[in-house]
Amino acid sequence: MMDLDHIPKQYFRKIRWTLFWGLFILAIIFSHYTNAAAWLFIGSLAVLGVSIKKSFRWVLPIVLILLVAGSPQLGLISQGLLIMLVVGLRELFVMPHAKLTQLKQHPRLKINKSGLTRRDSRVFKQTFKPMQKSAWHVKVLFQQTVGLRRIAIETKVVTYIEAILNKLAEKPTQLLTVNDFAYRRLPNLEQLLVSYVEIANHSVISDEDKKQLKTARQLIKELSMNICKDYRLVISEDMNNLNSRMNTTKDTLGDRHE
């Protein structure tokens, strides 16, 4: 896996010009294939105008794919295999770190500390920060397979998890209301998703594995639905306040409400 975030800045210029001249020379070599040469030349100019990350993640793969597509002498089968190879190498060596970087950059919620002692605030943060990381990890994991994306859409679990965290940041005392969510359901969901994605990404999946994945999807769905119920617990106080105000309003309206 290529860690693009840790390339020393002093090498940026060398890498950029190496990419430029490499693509430019390839354009000359393939000059008798007009389309291929044109894309290589465009790619050589593009690497001078974009970041190193974008060059490796987007410019190079796209240029190589267009190069293969613009080389008819390779034949359709060879072209298809080479394009798959380029895409596979990109996913294997370049994109995993991009996903990990995205995972690390989860948004931080501002915690309302009013009414909390210093000790209470410290204890809450010790619980809340891991919850945030788990929630963001869960969000990323739900995008890894079609089956998981379907569950996320059907249950809206990611939306409910984020809503619970927002509510807890706003009112930390609500943590006691959702103990099961904080200490059991969310961690279990994260661990189950990690195991599921790991198996789903195996190059060969047996019939027995498929059965286990199906069972796991059902458990993930049930767990997601329970998390949705946790959200109802978090907002129960707000709903009770609303009902109380509605009843008071009805009483003040008297016969006119009838």
- The pLDDT of residue 101: 47
Residue 20 CB burial class (10 angstroms; 0-12, 13-18, ≥19): middle
- The pLDDT of residue 194: 92
Residue-wise pLDDT for 32-77, tens only, equals 766 777 877 888 888 888 877 777 777 888 888 887 777 777 778 8
Per-domain residue ranges of the chain? 4-104, 118-248
Residue-wise pLDDT for 86-123, tens only, equals 787 777 666 544 454 444 455 666 788 877 888 888 88
DSSP E strand boundaries for 28-107 = none
Residue-wise pLDDT for 15-33, tens only, equals 888 888 888 888 888 777 6
Distance of CA 150 to the CA centre of its chain: 15
HSE, CB side, 13 Å, CA atoms: give it for residue 98: 12
Lowest mean per-residue pLDDT among 118-127, 186-195, 248-257: 248-257
Residue-wise pLDDT for 127-163, tens only, equals 888 898 899 999 999 998 889 999 999 999 999 999 9
Q: Are 47 and 20 in contact (CB under 8 A)?
A: yes
Give the Cα separation of 150 and 155 in Å (integer).
Answer: 9
Angle at 178 between CA 126 and CA 114, to 5 degrees: 55
The two three-digit tokens of residue 193, written as one number: 């998703």
Mean pLDDT throughout 205-233? 90
What pTM was computed for the model? Answer: 0.55
Residue 19: CB atoms within 10 Å: 21
